[in-house]
Amino acid sequence: MATALFGDGAAACVVRASETGLAEVELAGQHTWPDTLDIMGWSVDPEGLGVIFDRAIPPFAETHVLKGVTSILARSDLTPADVDRFACHPGGSKVITALESALKLSHGTLIRNVRFSRTMGTCPRQPRCSYSRSFYGLHP
């Protein structure tokens, strides 16, 4: 499903050689769902390249995301309950609400994702430093 909901934009970090830092990457992983191109992906036809966003994205996310997250965390003997904060590449508000439901988060937990998408859009090519800093309340 479009590399697990825009994974190309969400899976970036800045690494520097320093004694201290703003955050620590403790675990990374990926999970993909085969045969989901009709839900989210790219269409290539004689007219050009197009994007596919189906209305099935929120219910799909609500049904399947927890299993993927649980699988990734299990590699380090963790569960979703061990995660302090989830940072999701912002989609529309229905996707954010579906992710909150899937991850068993209180409504509004991912509100910073929604606020960011309103101000910066959802393009995975946009700079993520401002998002990371505002999401985590970090300053250089």
Q: For 85-124, what is each residue's pLDDT tens digit?
A: 787 766 788 988 999 999 999 888 887 655 555 555 544 4
Give me the residue spans of the domains in the chain.
56-123
Taking CA atoms, 103 is separated from 12, 69, 73, 111, in Å, by: 21, 8, 13, 14
- Residue 114 CB neighbour total at 10 angstroms: 16
Query: Which tens digit of pLDDT belongs to each residue from 46-75?
Result: 888 888 889 999 999 999 999 999 999 999
Domain 56-123 = CATH 3.40.47.10: yes
Portion of the chain with pLDDT greater than 70, in percent:
64
pTM: 0.66
Report the alpha-carbon distance of residue 46 to residue 75 in Å, rounded. 43
Residue labelled with tokens 């995301």: 65
Report the alpha-carbon distance of residue 135 to residue 39 in Å, rounded. 28
Report the alpha-carbon distance of residue 133 to residue 73 in Å, rounded. 24
